Amino acid sequence: TTTRTLLAVDGLVVGYAGAPVLDGLTIEVAAGDVVALLGANGAGKTTLLRAVSGLVPLRGGRVVLDAEDLTGLAVEDRARRGLAQVPEGRSVVAELTVEENLQLGALWRIPGRRARRAAVDELYDELEPLARRRQAYGHQLSGGERQMLALARALVSRPRVLLLDEPSLGLAPRVVAQLLGTLREAARRTGLTVLLAEQNVTSALSIADRGIVLGLGEVVADAPAAQLAADPALRHAYLGF
Ligand code: ATP
């Protein structure tokens, strides 16, 4: 096939105190794929995302982006190479408007006022619901709008890989569908690669190309999203529905 691995974790060993949470985990993500990272509470989804972005140290293994070993690099250096973590919606600045929040996000990454203007305008084209709220203040936004703004701020730097940790947390089902639909559409338009950790299995699989199920720090299933969603035994055993 022509699919190219963009992000790989290879033999990852990560732990806090005591036994490792991830013990030799290996995953490959193809360029342009949206991958749902699933598994019960405590399976290690958050730990995996933090290991990829550099927020937790590795005891063993490697993180590789486009054939470059990132293992020794700090969070900012990984970000510079195109890894972006979407923070929680709470990270939105309440006293600034949507527009100002986005400009602030662009300020660190994009030199030149005109280039920033163009980048933000391009985002508005992709994230229609946000465009309509551009003059609203952070504190006036709903939970879903805040989450979308957090997503937009990560997208403004045009990352190659987007890491999301439960963006649906605390949102109503309709809002989750809109947020994930927007993410899917942004990925399709820009060729973005996405690793999406979600408890909300049905929603995540509905927009993902592929699902990876973690159980106690191991990969217990790795298959096309549609196949995972349609497999009753697997759903029952690992996904709880
Ligand atoms: P959740 O959906 O609850 O976040 P998860 O799949 O993301 O679950 P992790 O948060 O990665 O799982 O947690 C995996 C294991 O690591 C759990 O047993 C958890 O208690 C432990 N753990 C997570 N963070 C820390 C930490 N900072 N210090 C110590 N142990 C931790």
Neighbouring residues of 224: CB distance < 8 A, sequence distance ≥ 6 = 209, 210, 211
- How far apart, in whole angstroms, are the C-alpha atoms of residue 41 and residue 238? 11
Residue whose CA lies nearest to ligand 1 atom number 18: 42
51 Cβ below 6 A of ligand 1: no
Please say if the pLDDT value at position 238 is more than 80. no
Q: What is the pLDDT of residue 137?
A: 97
Q: What is the pLDDT of residue 88?
A: 75
47 alpha carbon to ligand 1 midpoint, in Å? 6
16 Cβ below 6 A of ligand 1: yes
Average pLDDT, the chain: 91
pLDDT digits (tens, 9 = 90+) for 112-164: 999 999 999 999 988 888 999 999 999 999 998 999 999 999 999 889 999 99
Which residues are bridge partners to 36 per DSSP?
196, 211
42 Cβ below 6 A of ligand 1: yes
163 Cβ below 6 A of ligand 1: no
Asked whether the beta carbons of 8 and 127 are under 8 A apart, the reply is no
pLDDT digits (tens, 9 = 90+) for 59-86: 999 999 999 999 999 999 999 999 999 9
Which is the closest atom of ligand 1 to the Cα of 56?
27
